[in-house]
Amino acid sequence: MMRIAIVDDEPLARSGVATRLAAYADVDIVGEYGDGASALAGIRALAPDVVFVDVQMPDMSGIDVLAALAPHERPMAILLTAHDQFAVRAFEFNAIDYLLKPVDDDRFAEALDRARTALPYRRREANAPIDAPDPPKTWQTRFEVRVGRRVAFVDAHDVTWIEADGDYAALHGDEHTYLLRESLARLALVLDPSKFVRVHRSTIVRVDCVADLQPLSNRDALLRLKDGTPVRASRTYIESLLCALRSVGGV
């Protein structure tokens, strides 16, 4: 069951969200709040999984509420706003989506589905003992690439990003590009997810090579790698990307 809180200073807006949520059997509304101060206290007391929060409220805005929460207290947030410029700040506070008012039913369902998909990972992180060792895994650390008649061995730590190129994957890095006859889907399974993360259906990046991230208004993001390469990140993969960047101190 996904535990949800609703924060909006407009009663009709709160009622609209609650009515939509009533159509889903796997959600439980644990709190509704009409101002930032009560929302802050309620979120700390009830620890909901997800909060639908209005960005613009008097005295204490939805952004202020999220900013006042410590990272471990902060639930996944779906921002409610009439202005899409708040999409940029959404990335700062575990906001997995934002909905423009008046809220569209399809977009509402999409945002809720994104929260539903991310919830098991968030709960796993929250419940993991601090000193628990990671389970032993063997990740691919080297690629065998045919270059003419010879075979080149490319270390994974020399690869900065990977893109799909027809039936091949193009390995970029070390001022060279190598073509590997392999699908991106399989590479995403065999590479260490703490070091490599898929950011688009056609792109994988090495996490420590990401220099900066610029959120876009359509909920995608533009990445710039340390070598200056621009890479587009799809909204589908933003959540896993942000988690990976946080693990290396990138955001």
What one-character DSSP code corresponds to residue 189? H
pLDDT score of 130:
45
Tens digit of each residue's pLDDT (9 = 90 or more) over 109-152? 988 988 888 887 777 666 655 444 445 468 889 999 988 888 98
What one-character DSSP code corresponds to residue 251? -
pLDDT score of 98:
80
pLDDT score of 54:
93
pLDDT score of 237:
82
Q: Which residues of the chain have pLDDT under 50?
A: 130-134, 136
- Domains, in order of start, for the chain: 2-127 (3.40.50.2300), 142-247 (2.40.50.1020)
The pTM is what? 0.54
| Cβ proximity of 217 and 164 under 8 Å | no
pLDDT score of 126:
65
Tens digit of each residue's pLDDT (9 = 90 or more) over 139-151? 889 999 988 888 9
Strands across the sheet containing 168-173: 176-180, 168-173, 161-165, 203-206, 196-200
58-66: long-range contacts, CB 8 A cutoff, minimum separation 24: 58/9, 59/35, 60/35, 60/36, 61/36, 62/7, 62/36, 63/89, 63/93, 64/36, 65/7, 65/36, 65/39, 65/40, 66/92, 66/93, 66/94, 66/95
pLDDT score of 141:
92
